[in-house]
Amino acid sequence: MNLVEVKDLVVRFRTDEGIVSAVNGVSFDIAVGKTMGLVGESGCGKSVTADAIMSILPDNGWIENGSIIYNSLHEGSFNVAELGKKDKKLELVHGKEMAMIFQEPSTSFCPVYTIGNQIIEAIALHTNIPKDEQREYCIELLHKVRISNPEQRIDEYPYQLSGGMRQRAMIAMALAGSPRLLIADEPTTSLDVTVQAQILNLLLDLQQELGMSMLMINHNIGIIAETTDMVGVMYLGKIVELAPTKELLANPMHPYTRDLFRSILQVTDQKGRKLAFIEGSVPDAYNIPKGCAYHPRCGQAIDGLCDTELPVNCDISDTHRVSCHLYNKRAQ
Ligand code: SF4
């Protein structure tokens, strides 16, 4: 059963340079109790997709097409794409059923209040826990996210906590309403490798313990491979490959997916310098190349086809789909 069903999602932004499509026909599901991952380089549309699901697009952005069906426990099924940002249904599910954590905890915490004040505010907003029990519940949450000495930390200000501790406190705040869906947008990118691993393990343990669904967003395919059940590989606003994580690891098919995997290998030249694998950079969103958007960087591009025609989605199996001319009958 799916908690979220995203279909043919198109998100656009109005900018000084004109209208740009950040997400171009994205479709995927988030199953109950499972983790879906979106991976790709900066600007590929993964965070915009998450913001559209949460209905927190900036004022110059809008959903042009497609649907985001959310199967709410309390409000029934509804299409997020059809609701205004201030719709009552969204207000009721935000925090209680859907929560989000970000790369930078300072976007969630105000520096002039203690973390306890701020988490207790979330508890008051998203739960029916009586006022005199909210502090105790906050300590319980801090304990759950493995913050040592939570009885003391609850009265500390965000600046008194290390980066990893602040991230844990932000997760505690997101958990206040016992959400069914947790969206984690690059939750560990600003942390060093050891703390990153601790936070990812914590998220996985919490997901198992609480039976949450998760949408994990990351630019690092290694992290996505370790933490998800299903992966969508995004390039310039499209999902170019979608597959169960194990299958993607065993059999990556899209040239971009393969290049992403290659790019995380620790291969060095004779002087010990790390080699870069993906040639070129992501094209400007205002000048998306004709045909397959990846063709200027793709080592397997077919002249006269990849540079002129958009590849269509090919179903490799019921759960594995790839958008590349290499798998079209016509190109074989
Ligand atoms: Fe490469 Fe062509 Fe496939 Fe695009 S469609 S990824 S250019 S082979």
What gap in Å lies between CA 231 and CA 236, rounded to an integer?
16
For a ligand 1 pocket test, name from 238, 282, 308, 325 the mutation site with the most ligand atoms within 8 angstroms of its C-beta.
325
> For tokens 């790369």, what's the residue?
103
Of ligand 1's listed atoms, the one at least distance from the Cα of 305 is: 2
- Res 267: pLDDT: 53
Neighbours of 140 (CB within 10 A): 12
The residue whose CB lies within 8 Å of the most ligand 1 atoms, and thus the one to mutate among 300, 307, 309, is: 300
Tens of pLDDT, residues 107-130: 778 999 999 999 999 999 999 999
Per-residue model confidence as pLDDT tens digits over 9-42: 999 999 998 999 999 999 999 999 999 999 999 8
Task: Using alpha carbons only, give the angle 194, 195, 197 rounded to the nearest 5 degrees.
Answer: 70
Mean pLDDT, the chain, as a whole number? 91
Write down the pTM of the prediction.
0.91
Q: How far is the CA of 320 from the centre of ligand 1 (A)?
A: 17
The pLDDT of residue 128: 93
Tell me how far CA of residue 232 lies from CA of 84, 239, 278, in angstroms.
Answer: 27, 6, 19
Q: Got the DSSP string for 113-143? A: S-HHHHHHHHHHHH----HHHHHHHHHHHHH
Residue nearest (by alpha carbon) to ligand 1 atom 8: 301
Residues of the chain where predicted confidence (pLDDT) is lower than 70: 265-277, 329-332
Return the amino acid letter for 195.
Answer: V
Per-residue pLDDT, 107:
74
Contact 235 CB / ligand 1 (< 6 Å)? no
Atom of ligand 1 nearest to the CA of 299: 1
280 Cα distance to chain centroid = 24
Q: Would you say the CB of residue 253 lies under 6 angstroms from ligand 1?
A: no
The two three-digit tokens of residue 169, written as one number: 């406190």
| Residue ranges with strand state E in 222-296 | 230-235, 238-244
Residues 6+ apart with CB under 8 A from 139: 150, 151, 154
Quick one: pLDDT at residue 266?
Answer: 52
Atom of ligand 1 nearest to the CA of 298: 1
